[in-house]
Amino acid sequence: MIGALLNGLTALGSTVTRRLERLGLAARFSLTVIMVLWPALRRTPLVIREVYFSGVRSISIITVSGLFVGMVLAVQGYEVLQRYGSADSLGVIVSLSLVRELGPVVSALLFAGRASSAVTAEIGLMRATEQLDAMDMMAVNPITRVVAPRFLAAIISLPLLSAIFSAAGIFGSYLVGVKLIGIDDGAFWSQMQANVDFRLDILNGLLKSVVFAVAVGLVSVFEGYHAAPTAEGVSSATTRTVVTASLAVLMLDFVLTVLMFRGLM
Q: Which residues bind other proteins (CB under 8 A)?
A: 125-126, 129-131, 133-141, 145
Using the minimum distance from each CB to other proteins, give the nearer residue, 135 or 228: 135
Query: CB-wise, 21 or 133, nearer to other proteins?
Result: 133
Nearer to other proteins, 43 or 114 (CB): 43
List the one residue out of 147, 134, 110 whose CA is nearest residue 227.
147
Q: How far is the CB of 128 from other proteins (least distance, A)?
A: 10
Nearer to other proteins, 113 or 229 (CB): 229
Residues contacting residue 65 through CB under 8 Å, at least 6 positions apart: 106, 107, 110, 165, 168
Rounded to the nearest whole angstrom, what is the least distance from the CB of residue 71 to other proteins in the complex? 38
Give the nearest distance from C-beta 149 to other proteins in angstroms: 12
Cβ-based nearer residue to other proteins, 136 or 253: 136
Smaller CB distance to other proteins: residue 40 or 74? 40
**CA of 175: how far to CAs of 86, 163, 180, 193, 196, in Å?**
18, 18, 6, 17, 20
Minimum distance from residue 209 beta carbon to other proteins (Å): 28
Least Å from the CB of residue 258 to other proteins:
42
User: CB of 218: closest distance to other proteins in angstroms?
Assistant: 22
Between 209 and 220, CB nearer to other proteins: 220
Give the shortest CB-162-to-other proteins separation in angstroms.
27
